[in-house]
Structure 1
Amino acid sequence: MEACCKVCVTGASGYIASLLINKLLAKGYTVHATLRDLKDESKVGLLKSFPQSQQKLVLFEADIYNSVDFEPAIKGCQFVFHVATPLIHEPGSQFKDITEASLAGSKNIAMYCKRAGTVKRLIYTGSVVSASPMKDDGTGFKDVMDETCWTPLNDSLAYLFHDAYVKDYVYSKTVTEKYMLSCGNDGNGAGLEVVTLLCGVVGGDTLQSFTPGSVRICISPITGNTNGCKSLEFVQQFLGKIPLVHVDDVCEAHIFCMESTSSINGRFLCASSYVSLKEIANHYVLHHSEFTVNQEYADGPKKDMKWGSTKLFAKGFAYKYDTKMILDDCIKCARRMGDL
């Protein structure tokens, strides 16, 4: 299949997408990759440095804020990975916020997938923030966190958002995922299949030339990065604990869902660990004593929340990286980049 199969990956220069593209090229797929700016030599250079890129990689300029540009990239493809997501709103655009931009872009991408007539499966890179087990009134958590959980988009959670950026991101990922799922077939094998992979906090190494933002968040208990620590605290308050996943497992999960020979639809949580901030801090205390960990995190509460997601396991997917491996690779990455 790989030798004659074309796939599209949006947001090609990102942390997840760049590694995903590298893996797809190594497996023999032809990749249509989209970038916001083909004149950005650092991003284009990264993608063109991958083995097989000269023969198997085709770059397209496309932007979520002008999503009509995605149609040429999707045309002729059998699978589409929609990884791109707006993180910072572009003032003066036709959209009022990133939720509107993300939704409009995703609507067009889904439409182009159906219009192409060749796309079998659309795989959307979602986030666990759209699956909070918080009760609708914000008074507490459900018993477990699994794929039946949906973040309640109402004022009951307002006290958890430490800034407008976090709220915008949560709303954007939740609203967009719901729309993407509505575009899929009903499981009868006819029409477009849609998979949403809700990734936890992503750690590990990178192909990029800098430490990714999510890796900086993972190591914030030892760097003292205030915003990173606030992000971990928010995730714990919002999801009960912190779902962690290695970037390599994320990419392998995407490819697994693409290569599934049986019909596959719906949402899948993607995280190999479900830990407290206390457990993360104590890992650094125990295994990386050369760093000073804020005692406030090491002594923090450990909530008795359960991870109930087994859907990827049931399909046959297996994670390779546990908590220790994820956090150790975050440190390795930051050291290599000179940030530790």
Structure 2
Amino acid sequence: MVMGEEGCKVCVTGGSGYIGSWLIKKLLAKGYTVHATLRDLKNESKVGLLKSLPQSEGKLVLFEADIYNPNDFDLAIEGCKFVFHVATPMIHEPGSQYKDTSEAAVAGTKSIFLSCVRAGTVKRLIYTASVVSASPLKEDGSGFKDAMDENCWTPLNDSLAYIYRDDPFLKGYTYSKTLSERHVLSYGNEENGGGMEVVTLTCGLVGGDTLLSSTPASGVVCIAQIMQNERAYISLKFLKELLGKIPLVHVDDVCEAHIFCMESTSISGRFLCASSYISLEEMANHYALHYPEFNVKQEYEDGLKKDIKWASTKLCDKGFVYKYDAKMLLDDCIKCARRMGDI
């Protein structure tokens, strides 16, 4: 595919979010016409952010659409060749037609797939997944497998109850991302997809800079060991207990990976997306060594086997190259938080 192919329209759901806004900026810079969805077009700060992006004039069209009203997406997807489904429900809306975020997320992915089919122009649907769906823990919760790769799926059973610590958000997010990724991959096998390819990018903990006016939640988690933010630290510990170590990926690499999957001649299936797979001890040591001005939380091994190997090379085997290692990502998170006045 030719970069910025004349008349090529792409759709990005969740356009005003951390990944969505960065992805839109890159797509516009490459010359694509972008249809972006937001939950509320009356939100002047979010609309203003996207309209202020370079090359947005005449190349960016905004649509109001909400995962909780999945039929909203038809207009945004109409005429598009590629669709990036980045949006995900984070907090449940009481009184909605869905019982929880998992049901809403699954219904949303199904509806967006059907919108792609109805459009008749979509060649490929690319879904932004999360590594919380790819735990190498064994089904019975007795320990970890030897490696973490695309064959790993988080067990959705009571054996992992101890990891969630009765936290409804952590459990809800894990279930919603796991179930919705499984569903969207199954759509790629459906005959009524009209030959449409489906890709899931199962992204690690995302960090780096941001276009937003505040430090993104995932960026706060990346630097939780030096921030007085217990909620973020609980999320970081949760990832360690779920995955063995912390898969990290820079937001710029995440968006380049999305565009790589779009511009590839043919690609489908599940791809883990992370440039580094490190322990909490390694993260803490980096901060202690390079940022002595901060009081860094001490980390100790708890005795549970943690020598799981990051065994995913699928994306790189296709030709993708990461530009940011763990040090660069963590340093960019520090810079971002300082710019926002958070540290």
**TM-superposition CA deviations, 1:204-228 (whole Å, max 9, x none):** 0000110000011111101131111
Does structure 1 residue 240 correspond to structure 2 residue 272?
no
2:38–2:66: 8 Å Cα contact kept in structure 1? yes
Match of 2:162 in 1: 159
SS of 2:295 mapped into structure 1: coil
Match of 2:86 in 1: 83
Distance in 2, matches of 1:244 and 1:275, equals 8
SS of 2:226 mapped into structure 1: helix
Match of 1:284 in 2: 287
Q: TM-score scaled by structure 1?
A: 0.97
**TM-superposition CA deviations, 1:284-304 (whole Å, max 9, x none):** 001111111122x2x445821
1:177 aligned to which of 174, 178, 181: 181
Distance in 2, matches of 1:91 and 1:331, equals 36
Does structure 1 residue 137 correspond to structure 2 residue 168?
no
1:204 aligned to which of 179, 186, 208: 208
**TM-superposition CA deviations, 1:176-228 (whole Å, max 9, x none):** 001100111489x9611000001100000000110000011111101131111
Does structure 1 residue 315 correspond to structure 2 residue 318?
yes
Match of 2:72 in 1: 69
Q: CA deviation at 1:148?
A: 0.4
1:185–1:191: 8 Å Cα contact kept in structure 2? no
Distance in 2, matches of 1:190 and 1:280, equals 46
Match of 1:249 in 2: 253
Match of 1:122 in 2: 125
Distance in 1, matches of 2:102 and 2:307, equals 32
Distance in 1, matches of 2:331 and 2:282, equals 14
Q: CA deviation at 1:106?
A: 0.9
Match of 2:230 in 1: 226
Q: CA deviation at 1:55?
A: 1.4
What is the count of residue pairs matched by the alignment? 336
Q: Which runs of 5+ in 1 are unaligned?
A: none
Q: Show the 5 A alignment for 1:27-42.
A: 27-42=30-45
Distance in 2, matches of 1:282 and 1:123, equals 36
SS of 1:153 mapped into structure 2: coil
1:50 aligned to which of 47, 50, 53: 53
Distance in 2, matches of 1:294 and 1:61, equals 42
1:6–1:30: 8 Å Cα contact kept in structure 2? yes
Percentage of matched positions with identical amino acids:
71
Moved over 3 A (4+): 299-302
**TM-superposition CA deviations, 1:142-182 (whole Å, max 9, x none):** 11000000111111111100201100100000100011001
2:146–2:307: 8 Å Cα contact kept in structure 1? no
SS of 1:9 mapped into structure 2: strand
SS of 2:271 mapped into structure 1: strand
SS of 2:58 mapped into structure 1: helix
Distance in 1, matches of 2:301 and 2:44, equals 44
Distance in 2, matches of 1:255 and 1:294, equals 37
Match of 1:92 in 2: 95
CA RMSD of superposed structures (Å) = 1.4
Does structure 1 residue 294 correspond to structure 2 residue 297?
yes
Greater alpha carbon shift after TM alignment, 300-309 vs 48-57: 300-309
Match of 1:274 in 2: 277
Distance in 1, matches of 2:152 and 2:96, equals 33
1:224–1:294: 8 Å Cα contact kept in structure 2? no
Q: TM-score scaled by structure 2?
A: 0.96
Q: Which runs of 5+ in 2 are unaligned?
A: none
Distance in 2, matches of 1:156 and 1:201, equals 24
SS of 2:84 mapped into structure 1: strand
Distance in 1, matches of 2:188 and 2:307, equals 35
2:12 alignment partner AA:
V
Q: CA deviation at 1:52?
A: 1.1
Distance in 2, matches of 1:126 and 1:300, equals 29
Distance in 2, matches of 1:277 and 1:224, equals 17
